[in-house]
Structure 1
């Protein structure tokens, strides 16, 4: 048995999320069906994170155990051939030690959220970014974001469906940068709560629109009350961009 580490890119729009679902297609299902077609083995594909419906990835890390003798390059190429036309691609495939685990060995996860700040409708990026028509003050968003960095109870920014044992998380990075009409939010932590990044981005957008101040954001965090969340950003602009080990 050989354990292969995969780096996977996908467009989340056609999927119900990473994890297999009874009510619709998932990225995990697409990969597992490709593994079965290539190797004849019904193997589970484990990932570093479980993205929601409509969320994308540029570098999701995953692993799969295969008994059939096959070189990593050949496995990656064969999986990509079987994945077509689904918008999922294996960017890299490597042999790793059997005790390496894409999820449990992961020490950090990174996300980016893409906002296009313009009045004209999105065409090429519809479903791939969040369009905010009114002007955003990205500098104010960047300043306010630092109120969320560190170890906090993130109940306010946690989905009511979150299954994590504790709402306490340590946010290592939350940066906001503008490049023309694009505003990008970068987030990094060992782990995130369900909807945490989207919830934080929604609150930062309120700051950027001038409806909230940095103090309002800090007070919402301290309240530990989901009802204090003004807005949950849509999944369109969210990307899983990397995992560290």
Structure 2
């Protein structure tokens, strides 16, 4: 009997561990594209930084200037100073975490769609802002620029739109009503979800306040700062995310994901 009870306990522990792994996997499922963006940007940027440290002339080759149009892409991952790289990584980590918190209100399929939009616009914002800046360089003085700030601000633009778009669902969750997932929060997780939604609403207010009361500070204005890249990246991210948001309700209706499950 002792062996049987031990076997049952082992089986129960195994089942709980399996359920925990499945729960974690399902939780991360909707955010894999965001995680991939953070990992890819970190690894490539750090690798480029190490290469430039060992071969300084490489920085001039990879930067964006009138005579190096390939810098539209290569300069996105170039950070000459370690402090510059760390500041962009910190900003990307923060924006990514806040974005995941905001879209948590949506059902899995919608979270995956928003995450894919975030990932795509992250790179599109950086390349797009650099492309416009290259055209400006052709008509003005020739300077060199580098860094992934345009991509980070593009991600901030996506975060801004996603946060504003989620307000009705965040309010519904706080009120205990059905959200876009078609489900009511369970008593066990309801408080945590409502706190997360309340945080998302505070985030919306904070972002809008920062943008409209201190635009220079919001875009990181300062000496030797490529403000054009910041603003263009942010606008491209916002425009792309807005386009997705306009189409998203029709996509939900076609897929039926807004119905209770």
Q: What TM-score, normalized by structure 1, do the two folds share?
A: 0.27
Give the TM-score of the pair, scaled to structure 2: 0.25
Which structure has more helix as a fraction of its residues?
2
- More strand as a share of residues: 1
Instruction: Compare CA radii of gyration and give the structure with the larger one.
Output: 2
